[in-house]
Structure 1
Amino acid sequence: MSAQNAELRRHTDTNGVWQTLLDVYADVRAPLLHLPHYAVDAYAERLARHAAEPGFEVVIAYAADQAVGYAYCNTVDPGNRWWKRMDPPLPDHLTTKPAAALKEIMVRTPWRGTGTARRIHDELLAQRREHYVSLLVNPTAGEGKVQRLYETWGYQTLSSQTPSPGSPPLAAMLRAIR
């Protein structure tokens, strides 16, 4: 399996891909679905909220017409709750312009380590107009491996936040889009 073999499709809403997103999520998060925060219904509520926010986009990777992964983001403006939950608060110069908030990036197990996640990520950000992209990551995911991967992509850990009840504390990372 190669990242180059995957076809990338961009969508600006969840019409026609809602179930695909839920199916990939359930597959990727299967070991955690028993926890309330990670339950598919809880995720579906977050996805619906995120999809209704300004600047929503999702890129889905397909191989042989099966979705193998996706990433989505939306725009967060100055004053957005995304910034207000940072602890410690970020410097003003980072939060006074719109930024892209990368809300989810998921790749099914057989496609991990193939470059697919990076290809999806880069395609998602390729047409964004924001200056920065921010994401939240569980620093314990993969025993820290996921956070270290984002660091190789140019992200820096600048803060932390707990975005919702039941969520673990997450590291807040940021990088320039261009």
Structure 2
Amino acid sequence: MRRYIAADLPEIRQRILDIHVEVRRRDFGLTGPFYDVERFDERLSTYSSRPGWSAVLGYEDGEPVGFCFGTALAPGTKWWNNMLTPLAADVTTETGTRTAALNEIVVRKPWRGHGVAWQLHEAWLNSRQEERVTLLVNPLNGDGAVQAVYEAWGYRKLGDQQPFPDSPVFSVMLRPVKPT
């Protein structure tokens, strides 16, 4: 596992994009504008421009096996704005140090089912200073199996949101960075 910060993105961008295409398009058949590599690259650029962005890439014998990345939610973030049912202010108020958003976690097929996603997740969280971490997951992925994995990792569902007009409706999940 190797940790990277925004200044390192030029070094790892193509690896991240290649894995995205391999997994999302080829393995899972996700198509449409939201999943296009250009749109994903735009989101990657946007996320990495925010303070506190970091990534973890996993390697085996020098070959990338997966990645995860995310950033801190800044005061005034729009993260919570697209909730289908609004949440209370005590849940959505951000300070810049309260909540980390895990934007992406992707593992290549040969390494799935071996705990690599958990290792990436934990390596990324180990460097985070925030109190809690949130993520979005498509509840239809794997007929709910992906969301169940996050629940097993200690996340709980807060509600649903659709952050982009052409994106799926995602479950919004939250857990402490350091589970008690």
TM above 0.5:
yes
* Residue equivalent to 1:119: 119
Say which SS state the counterpart of residue 154 (structure 1) adopts.
Answer: coil
SS at match of 2:154: coil
Conserved 8 A contact 1:33-1:40: no
TM-score, structure 2 length as denominator? 0.91
Cα shift readout 1:81-127 (whole Å, capped 9, x = no counterpart): 00222232223222234310000000001111100000100110112
The residue aligned with 2:107 is: 107
Q: Mind listing any 5+ residue stretches in structure 2 that lack a counterpart?
A: none
Amino acid at match of 1:45: E
Q: The residue matched to 1:80 in structure 2 has which SS?
A: coil
Q: Which residue matches 1:79?
A: 76
Q: Which deviates more, 85-94 or 55-64?
A: 85-94
Partners of 1:153 and 1:33 lie apart in 2 by 25
For 2:35, the equivalent position in structure 1 comes to 38
Give the distance between the partners of 1:109 and 1:136, measured in 2 at CA: 21
For 2:92 and 2:162, the matched residues in 1 are separated by: 18
Deviations 1:6-48 (Å, cap 9, x if unpaired)?
xx00000212001000011111112435311101111111111
Map 1:1-178 onto structure 2 (within 5 A). 8-13=1-6, 14-30=9-25, 31-97=28-94, 98-178=98-178
Mapped partners of 2:12, 2:159: distance in 1: 33
Quote the offset at 1:132 in angstroms. 0.8
SS at match of 1:82: coil
Hey, what's the Cα distance between the residues in 2 that align with 1:108 and 1:60?
11
- Seen in structure 2, the aligned counterparts of structure 1 residues 33 and 39 have a Cα distance that, compared at 3 Å, is farther
Where in structure 1 do 4 or more consecutive aligned residues deviate above 6 Å? none
Mark the CA change 1:33 to 1:171 in structure 2 (over 3 Å): closer, same or farther.
closer
Q: Distance in 1 between matches of 2:177 and 2:92?
A: 14
Q: TM-score, normalised by structure 1?
A: 0.92
Q: CA RMSD in A?
A: 1.2
Distance 2:86 2:175 in 1: 16
Question: Once structures 1 and 2 are overlaid, which stretch shifts more, 84-93 or 55-64?
Answer: 84-93
